[in-house]
Structure 1
C-alpha cells in the first residue's frame, strides 16, 4: 500500500525491521565501496553520469564565462589600440631619425668630395652653402651665404665636387649671387679633352643641357667626349670639368656642326659649393741668394782699418 503524502514516517524507524534494513543498506554500501576500490567497477558508471551532468555545469557557467569573455575582449581591444598607437608613433619617430641620418650621411659624402676637390685643385678655395636657387628657363641663378664681408668678389668661379657650376655675378655684404653655366646669357670657353679642340659652350636655359654651336664639320668630336675649361678669358682656370657631349649633329644651315652636352656639375642637387681663389704670385723680385763663404767685416771695422796709419820702421 502506497504511503500518503501526509505520511511522515522516517526511512529508518524504530524496531527490529528497521535495524535489519539499516544493516542491509550499510552492508550493500560497504560491498559497493570495496568492489569499486578493488575492481573499479563503478568508474564507467561515474564517467557516464559525468557526461550527463557536464552540460548542466557548462550551462550554469555560461553567463559568467560570457561576461568574462566580453570584459577580456574590451580590455584586449583597448590595450591593442593603445599598443598600436605607441608602435605607430615609435615607427614615425624611427623613420624620421633614419631620414635624418641618411641626409647627414649624404651631406658628409658631399663635403668629403668637396674637400677632396679642395686638396686637388692646388688653389685657394672657400666653402659656401646655397641659400636659394632659381632654375627658370630665362634665368639660372643660385644665391650663396657668403658675400663681400667674407672676401667674395665678382667673377669668382663656382664649382661643386663634379665640375664647374658658374661664376659670381653679384656681391652683397653677406650674400652673393652666381650665374650658372646653363643660363641663356652665359658662355664658357671649353676644350675637348680628347682632341684639344677649343670651342664655346652656351647655356640653354635648361639645367641639364649646354649648346655648342659653330663647330667645324671636319672637327673630331663625338658623344662621350669630355669638355673642360680652356682657361681663355681668365674667368675659369684651365682643366676643370664642364660637361660631356651627348649628341652631335649639323645646324640649320648645314655649314657647321652643333653638339649638345650635359653639365658635369650637379646643378639641381648640390647644397655646398666651392669658390675658387687663385693663389697670388709674390710681388717684387725674388730674394737674393747668399753666395756662401766667410762673412764680410762690419763697415765700422773696415773704415777703421782703412784709416789706420802704419807705424814707421
Structure 2
C-alpha cells in the first residue's frame, strides 16, 4: 500500500534542491545582506536564553569569589589579632623594663632620659650616584630638621641628615663609604665603629683586635658617643668574624637592621639638646614610632 510519504521527487532531487537553496541563501546573505535585520531580531530573541544559560556559571563564580574574599579577610583578621596580642604583650614587658630602669636610675642618682620628639618623613628620591648612598626626604627647615639629625626606620638606624632645604632634606645612609657610627654590643657592651662600604646590606667594624670578644649574631646598638645618634637604637647584627693572624685586625662584617634597599617612611628624632625643635612638638609627637628589633 502506498502512503503519502512515498510520493514526490526522489531523494537525489530533494538533495539537489536543498543544496541549491542553501547556495542561493548564502549568496543572498553574503552579497545582498538580505537577512541582516532578521539576524538582529533572532539575536535579540535568543539573548535572554543565553543569559539564562550563563547564569549558573556567573552565580558560581561570584559565590566562589565572595567566599575567597571572606576567607582571606578572616585569615588576615586572625593574623592581625595574633600580632596585636603579641605586640601588647611585648609592650607590657617594655613598660615593666622602663619602670625598672627608671627605679635603677633613681637609685644610682642618674637622671632619666627624656622622651624625644619624633616626626614621620617620607622618601622622595634616591641618589643615583653609585659612589654614594644618599636619599632625599620630604621634611626640611620649616619642619625643624637640622644637620646631623638622626634618621631611623621601623627596624633601626638609617643614617643622618647632611643637607637641609626649606621643604626637603638629604640623608646620608649608614652604608655610605664616608659614614661611620659608634656602636656597642648588647651582649658584652664592647664598643666599635661601624663604617659603610658602599653596600646596602653590609657594614664593617673598624680596627677590631683579634682578642676582642665579638661573635656572629651579636646585636649592635648606637652607643651615644659622638653626640649624633641617641643611645640604644639598633644598628646592625654581626654577620661574620674572620681572624687572620697575618693581618693586624680581625675582619668583622655586620648586616644593617634597617631595610636600606626599600625605605618608604622614616622617623626623625629631636633630642632635647637638638639645635632646633619642630614647630609643633605636639603634632610631631603624633608620629612616634618604636624601632623594632628582631
Q: TM tier, shorter chain?
A: 0.5 to 0.7
* Structure 2 residue aligned with 1:184: 177
1:204 CA displacement: 2.5
- Find the aligned partners of 1:221 and 1:229 in 2 and give their Cα distance: 16
- SS of 2:133's equivalent in the other structure is strand
Query: Residues 56-115 of structure 1: CA distance to partner in whole angstroms, max 9, x if unpaired?
Result: xxxxxxxxxxxxxx99974543324654676698789x59x96xx89xx7xx98xx99xx
Higher relative contact order (CA 8 A, sep 6+): 2
**Residues 117-266 of structure 1 correspond to what in structure 2 (within 5 A)?**
122-132=114-124, 134=126, 138-250=131-243, 254-266=247-259
CA distance 1:278–1:178, change in 2 (3 Å)? same
Q: For the Cα contact (< 8 Å) 1:182–1:202, is it kept in 2? A: yes
1:251 CA displacement: 6.1
- Find the aligned partners of 2:172 and 2:257 in 1 and give their Cα distance: 16
- Find the aligned partners of 2:224 and 2:116 in 1 and give their Cα distance: 17
CA distance 1:79–1:267, change in 2 (3 Å)? same
Q: For the Cα contact (< 8 Å) 1:128–1:144, is it kept in 2? A: no
- Find the aligned partners of 2:187 and 2:156 in 1 and give their Cα distance: 17
- Find the aligned partners of 1:145 and 1:262 in 2 and give their Cα distance: 27
Q: For the Cα contact (< 8 Å) 1:127–1:272, is it kept in 2? A: no
- Find the aligned partners of 1:202 and 1:174 in 2 and give their Cα distance: 29
- Find the aligned partners of 1:238 and 1:259 in 2 and give their Cα distance: 22
- Find the aligned partners of 1:88 and 1:140 in 2 and give their Cα distance: 48
Q: For the Cα contact (< 8 Å) 1:141–1:177, is it kept in 2? A: yes
- SS of 1:77's equivalent in the other structure is helix
- Find the aligned partners of 1:204 and 1:126 in 2 and give their Cα distance: 29
Q: For the Cα contact (< 8 Å) 2:121–2:268, is it kept in 1? A: no
In the alignment of these two chains, the number of paired residues is 199
1:223 CA displacement: 0.9
CA distance 1:257–1:135, change in 2 (3 Å)? farther
Query: Residues 253-275 of structure 1: CA distance to partner in whole angstroms, max 9, x if unpaired?
Result: 52210111111223345543321
* Structure 2 residue aligned with 1:79: 55
CA distance 1:73–1:251, change in 2 (3 Å)? farther
- Find the aligned partners of 1:224 and 1:89 in 2 and give their Cα distance: 45
1:250 CA displacement: 3.5
1:149 CA displacement: 0.3
- Find the aligned partners of 1:139 and 1:89 in 2 and give their Cα distance: 48
TM-score (norm 2): 0.55
1:208 CA displacement: 2.0
Query: Residues 159-216 of structure 1: CA distance to partner in whole angstroms, max 9, x if unpaired?
Result: 2333211101121111122111112221112222333332211112222211113211
Q: Say which one has the larger Rg.
A: 1
- Find the aligned partners of 1:132 and 1:210 in 2 and give their Cα distance: 25
Farther off after superposition, 175-184 or 268-277: 268-277
- SS of 1:127's equivalent in the other structure is strand
1:277 paired to 2:253: no
Extract unaligned runs of 5+ from structure 2: 1-45, 99-112, 275-294
Query: Residues 6-59 of structure 1: CA distance to partner in whole angstroms, max 9, x if unpaired?
Result: xxxxxxxxxxxxxxxxxxxxxxxxxxxxxxxxxxxxxxxxxxxxxxxxxxxxxx
- Find the aligned partners of 1:83 and 1:240 in 2 and give their Cα distance: 55
